[in-house]
Structure 1
Amino acid sequence: MSSTRAAPDPDDPIGYFLEDLTYHGKTDRTRQAYERVLRRFEEFLDDTDPESASHRDCMSFVHSLRGDVADSTVATYAAYLHRFYGYMTEVGAFDGNPMTLVMEEMDETVDKDPARRDVSIPAMRSFVAGIRHPLHRALVVTLLKTGMRVGELCNLDLRDLSVTDPDLEAAYSLGGRPALSERPDSIFVTAEATVGEELNGEVRTAANKRKRGTVIPVDDELRRTLKAWLAVRPDSPSPAEPLFVGTAEGWGERIRPEAVRHVVERYAREEGWYRTGGGADENVTPHYFRHFFTTHLRDRTGDRGVVKYLRGDVADDVIDTYTHNWGDQVREVYETNVYRLLV
């Protein structure tokens, strides 16, 4: 005896798709990006339901974007729509994917390596000097000094930070990670954080994309910045003891990626480095700081291996080599070459 599962027939296909993205472990940022595009498409259709849209409706929507956003953004929006229809067709909610033909005929492509704003080290130093809020400065300096992703920043716990400072060592339980036992003044970025999974007693809302844990040196500037933050850090109800917690909304709760992006956007706008509708080539975001770190440290060291290790790029030979020779090949190279940010 066999049974078949009935195909879904949601009243709100877009909502159904977005909910499934959550179940598949996609980040809030990814889900929000899809929602913006798909709701814009739904509004464009007016009285036509997405399920009933033809390839000409889709083609007309894509054409309406031209001249309003960059070519690579047109391609990205089309790709989101294509995936939506492909998924809904796959689960049996829709009969077909009207975006298939549109994608085949489009000239626009996603720019996977956009040219980015060229910010000099003196200009970035001036930018950091304008950030007085202890939390905001700590977030920005940590991103700039480590090159970690915003989700990785948010997932840091006190146990992931080891610093040689009697005041901090007396006040906090720092550096509990075994990986930090022989590596003072460093941060451990785990590969184990997954959305919806418990880590160190707390269910995480952001994921780390590293395949292997990484130990990143903490230089004197980052140590001073983090000490200033910890001096005013609110107590947290989380048993994980997050390193970065909210000081306004969500007082004492682990800070989320969207809050970090909002902080960076605020200061970047004030500097003239962010414009609504601007692309990766124009806007300074947390991900831009990762690009800044990679570019300047690679240029200064000439050692791509160390930079790959610090970024957490997957290559077992690179990870193993620098893990076993961390003090000589990572800390020494890093501290000799990392740029200065504090005036």
Structure 2
Amino acid sequence: MSSRITTEEPEDPIGYFLEDLTYHGKSERTRTSYERVLRRFEDFIENKSPGEATHRDCMAFIHSIRGQLADSTVATYAAYLHRFYAYMTQVGVFEGNPMTLVMEEMDETVDKDPTRRDIPIAEMRTFLAGISHPLHRALICTLLKTGVRVGELCNLDLRDLSIDDPELAAAYDLGTRPALANRPDSLYVTPDATVGEVLNGEERTASNKRKRETVIPIDDELAHELKAWLAIRPDTPSPAQPVFVGTSEGWGQRLDPEAVRHIVTRYTKAVGWYRPGGGASENVTPHYFRHFFTTHLRDRTGDRGIVKYLRGDVADDIIDTYTHNWGDQVRETYERNIYRLVSKSVV
């Protein structure tokens, strides 16, 4: 049975809901997404408060965004609005959920496995060639060549990065993780990073979704891009020594996922790979690079197990097999098959 917290509608029901999302531990990105949708709905119903909206108001709102947004995005907007009303009804702020009937009659659904844009390696190489900023090249190349999630990228510290280079060794204390011992030119992805928790002396703004640690090889191209970035990387006040830090706003501060998405969108918009309101089947985002990595490496190796290991997909038999035979199976297979994004010698 739901508990009735209040019998009066707060002055700002949307603000009330967003505050509760914070208490429930939802990420800033999630809260921002909800706020964008709910404020748009609030503007649509104009002089009514959300608590006064009817199912016809909700239907009209959903109809108004059809044609402007991809079907899957329309379904996501509806799901956010439905969740808002369900929660506010459950805690006793609203008397009912006007989105229930709308959800039952909608044709659009959230596509959990969309068919994504097909970008050949040669086209991705051209895309990367158009990026000159060392930070932007390094982070995009890291996403493309390792398949890490954007949060995992943001959580990388210098201790997680091993590059066999005497100049870097003289300047930075790299690769001090025990898991990187005798594994030069590789990076370590921890399962221990969680939003709001302190790791390596710094509170984290993103979570890693892996259940097990993963060591991912770095080829010569990625090592070159990372070295070019580290050569100009600003000093950082963080005791954790993050790999990727800001060079404009938030100078020297660890990049968060939203900053990385902003950087990626800047370039994908410029080449027509991103449209505001476009769905996952159309837009190239940081997560698309994980899809690109998975698709092309799997096609080249024919080894789904190694790709699953590198992605951090949970399967103890896979993790254990490749962890214990990392050098022979993981590194050799990776180096033999990883696509080239800078040199034209290998397609």
* Shorter-chain TM-score tier: over 0.9
TM-score, structure 2 length as denominator? 0.94
Partner of 2:6: 7
Matched to 2:112, the amino acid is K
Partner of 1:259: 259
Counterpart mapping for 1:312-327 below 5 A:
312-327=312-327
Cα deviation digits, residues 172-203 of structure 1 (max 9, x gap): 11112121113221111111111111111001
Counterpart mapping for 1:72-111 below 5 A:
72-111=72-111
Cα distance between partner residues in 2 of 1:242 and 1:130: 26
SS for the counterpart of 1:111 is coil
For structure 1, list consecutive stretches of 5 or more residues without a partner in the other structure: none
Contact 2:5 2:93 in 1 (8 A): no
The alpha-carbon distance between structure 1 residues 23 and 6, as it changes in their structure 2 partners (threshold 3 A), is: closer
Cα distance between partner residues in 1 of 2:24 and 2:92: 18
TM-score, structure 1 length as denominator? 0.95
Contact 2:73 2:277 in 1 (8 A): no
Partner of 2:205: 205
The alpha-carbon distance between structure 1 residues 81 and 173, as it changes in their structure 2 partners (threshold 3 A), is: same
Matched to 1:210, the amino acid is R
Cα distance between partner residues in 1 of 2:5 and 2:64: 36
The alpha-carbon distance between structure 1 residues 182 and 24, as it changes in their structure 2 partners (threshold 3 A), is: farther
Cα distance between partner residues in 2 of 1:171 and 1:257: 27
Matched to 1:98, the amino acid is P
Contact 1:27 1:207 in 2 (8 A): no
State which drifts further: 193-202 or 104-113: 104-113
Deviation at 1:260, TM superposition (A): 1.0
Q: Identity over aligned residues, as a percent? A: 76
Deviation at 1:113, TM superposition (A): 1.5
Deviation at 1:128, TM superposition (A): 0.8
SS for the counterpart of 2:82 is helix
Q: CA RMSD in A?
A: 1.5
Partner of 1:51: 51
SS for the counterpart of 2:334 is helix
Cα distance between partner residues in 1 of 2:12 and 2:327: 55
Deviation at 1:315, TM superposition (A): 1.7
SS for the counterpart of 1:87 is helix
Cα distance between partner residues in 1 of 2:263 and 2:340: 22
For structure 2, list consecutive stretches of 5 or more residues without a partner in the other structure: none
Deviation at 1:5, TM superposition (A): 7.5
Cα distance between partner residues in 2 of 1:65 and 1:132: 37
SS for the counterpart of 2:216 is strand
Cα distance between partner residues in 1 of 2:150 and 2:156: 10
SS for the counterpart of 1:113 is coil
Contact 1:155 1:206 in 2 (8 A): yes
Deviation at 1:256, TM superposition (A): 1.4
SS for the counterpart of 1:222 is helix
The alpha-carbon distance between structure 1 residues 221 and 203, as it changes in their structure 2 partners (threshold 3 A), is: same
Partner of 1:235: 235
SS for the counterpart of 1:215 is strand
Matched to 1:7, the amino acid is T
SS for the counterpart of 2:188 is strand
